[in-house]
Structure 1
């Protein structure tokens, strides 16, 4: 049984995005849609898909060097949003089945911590995810390669700004096997995403009033 979402903030009235409304579609062939009420995992999927589409344009030509930083930025943001989504899910699960009276696990408290304490930093997000994962006392350990991949991303861009703005990275020149890099980031992000499915599979048969 999936753990239900808890509201994080009161809904606010908002206006449609004029940038999109100014370009109305006149045919299904040209249509693209932005859906409301998307969650962090929806955004993570969008950034992940975009990064993979960008990677598919790689041909091994010098001009392909221009896609490296946008590719890394898309993947880094996908990892960040996926981490935040899984943290919220694990905290809800931990609160429901392990520590119902722990105030640190309240939805709004978790949301504030993610936004104001961790921000865009991957290592603190990973640390919190592992805290919740380990507190659930599951049968399997968290995948070590996911941890190492996130650690490498954090090392390369600890603030979330290094892939975004010039002169934030080291004054060095590197090269890499791009298809191998793309494969690593894709596989480990998918592994991170299925963490929620793994945990849900363990708890789905637990009755609502079950207490450890």
Structure 2
């Protein structure tokens, strides 16, 4: 059936090459760090469009959501790796760092960036050979706490109304005018630091442990 003018308006632009119409995802190699990188890329694409083609105020919340979700997933991946490394380093403290217990703890922490950051910072301090700065840097902690204060439960960037029942309220009751480029650029740099900086350092640390050094 031939496309009509209405179809051209309603449909997404078709890729130039048929092979580009296919998407592949899932499988054993997919983990929280993979998804963190993907959400970071999505945030970057939207933010670049906003800064170069806009401004489009309607993109602000989707941009913040993608970066926030990237940060949350990266923190959870880093926590799991740091816990495994601490156990290999001979950790014998009271907190159970077995994989099942860590996963249970992450489910309890949910979307709370503040508590996730504290958990990662605590686990990194347990590592014996990670170096003198085996903790989250102060600037990263500051930004994570700032983002947490704006979106405590991971819903403020997704919905116009947050909370339930009599506690439901508007996520943004007042119109906001913000220096958005500087704000989102900070989150962009933080996302890169977690998904490429800290993740590389902890991955190298784990590989060193597994190789017997």
TM above 0.5, yes or no, is yes
TM interval, short-chain normalised: 0.7 to 0.9
Aligned position for 1:179:
181
CA deviations 1:80-132 (Å, max 9, x no partner) are: 100000000000000111316866110011001101x1011111111110110
Q: Is contact 2:112–2:148 with CA below 8 Å preserved after alignment?
A: yes
CA gap 1:108/1:189 in 2 versus in 1, 3 angstroms: same
Paired residue total: 184
Aligned position for 2:89:
97
CA gap 1:63/1:197 in 2 versus in 1, 3 angstroms: closer
Q: Give the alignment's TM-score, normalised by structure 1.
A: 0.77
Cα RMSD (Å) of the superposition? 2.5
Distance (Å, rounded) in 2 between the aligned partners of 1:133 and 1:155: 23
* Counterpart secondary structure, 2:50: coil
* Counterpart secondary structure, 1:174: coil
**1:159 paired residue among 153, 157, 170:** 153
CA gap 1:63/1:128 in 2 versus in 1, 3 angstroms: same
**2:20 paired residue among 8, 19, 29:** 29
**1:48 paired residue among 22, 40, 43:** 40
* Counterpart secondary structure, 1:57: helix
CA deviations 1:142-174 (Å, max 9, x no partner) are: 211111111111001000111111133242222
- Cα deviation for residue 197 of structure 1 reads 2.0
Distance (Å, rounded) in 1 between the aligned partners of 2:207 and 2:51: 45
Q: Is contact 2:81–2:202 with CA below 8 Å preserved after alignment?
A: no
Ranges in structure 2 where 5+ consecutive residues have no aligned partner: 1-16, 163-170
CA gap 1:147/1:189 in 2 versus in 1, 3 angstroms: same
Q: Is contact 2:113–2:152 with CA below 8 Å preserved after alignment?
A: yes
Structure whose alpha-carbon radius of gyration is higher: 2
Q: How does 1:73-152 map to 2 (within 5 A)?
A: 73-99=65-91, 104-115=96-107, 117-137=108-128, 138-140=131-133, 141-152=135-146
Q: Give the alignment's TM-score, normalised by structure 2.
A: 0.77
The higher relative CO (CA closer than 8 Å, separation ≥ 6) is in: 1
Aligned position for 1:16:
none
